[in-house]
Amino acid sequence: MPFGDLTYGAANVGNLFRALTDDEAFAVLDAAWEAGVRSFDTAPHYGLGLSERRLGAFLRTKPRDSFVVSTKVGRLLRPDPEGDGGLDLDNDFHVPTDLRREWDLSGDGIRRSVAESLDRLGLDRVDVLYLHDPERHSLREGLDSAIPALAGLRDEGAVTAVGVGAMTTEALTASAETGAIDLLMVAGRFTLAEQPAASDVFPACERNGVGVVAASVFNSGLLAQENPSRDGRYEYGSVPSDVLERVTAIAAVCAEFGVSLPQVALHFVHRHPLVRAVVVGASRPQQIRQNAERILAPVPDGLWARLEEDGLVFPHGP
């Protein structure tokens, strides 16, 4: 599967955390393209379909064989007759609640989800399909029903690769052990701040030939700061004291070696041999440009040894 160094995670163009105009969203996507990004990830969940619509409008201006696009299944979007005209802030999206999400992990539901995503994207196909957050609904149904349905779509040639995106090591490990998927999108469980996926999930990937796409590599914002603080965002909430203490110690080591914390956070996940791509979001053009520059800038080899010696990261990589 042809991934580049960076995949743009398009939740922000679905108005995650703050509203963007269509022009602002297009400027972010254009900045990603100009920075060399050719892999894009979206989902119906992101802005109740707004991310897919905006991303599709942008990608339709590019040759279809010049990019890789992934979306997700598991949640269908349906009209919400009880919508109060407010915003979807319970899910952190600044979009009207005229639609609601309905879980459907059945084979028929998976196929409907794909068809509806293609309609919103305005594309004839997507390259990768992920089952989205099955642990939030029914992991068992995801394993028994949704994953076989995804594998069927791949085997029919409808998509090139299939996988599961999740935030718990239990869901990620169980999904890899099915032997039916190609990729795991590991969200927040393998970052510079914490690496629980390294002990259970990654061995399961190695046994089953599953590649890793690392997402939420800044832990929702904490690692994106030059100087981590308690005011930072961690996993869409406040920063636990033990996490802040560890990340502060890591930032001090980074400063000693003359590199920034966000730069090291990107390189840390990217250098693992299982990682096929690193997903980053951005709500402003400069953010995506910075991340593209950071992943190309060198990091001293001695820094990794120092972090491992100090017990601040799980050892890995060359």
Q: Which residues are catalytic?
A: 46
Residue 158: φ, ψ to 5°:
-70, -30
Instruction: Give, to the nearest 10 degrees, the angle between helix 261-270 and helix 285-296.
Output: 60
- The answer to whether the beta carbons of residues 71 and 39 sit under 8 Å apart is no
Instruction: Give, to the nearest 10 degrees, the angle between helix 201-208 and helix 169-177.
Output: 10
Residues whose CB falls within 8 Å of the CB of residue 144, separated by 6 or more in sequence, listed in order:
none
Indicate the pairing of strand 128-132 with strand 99-103: unpaired
Cα 16 off chain centre by: 13
- How big is the chain by its Cα radius of gyration, in Å? 19
C-alpha 154/C-alpha 254 separation (Å) is: 42
| AA identity, residue 282 | A
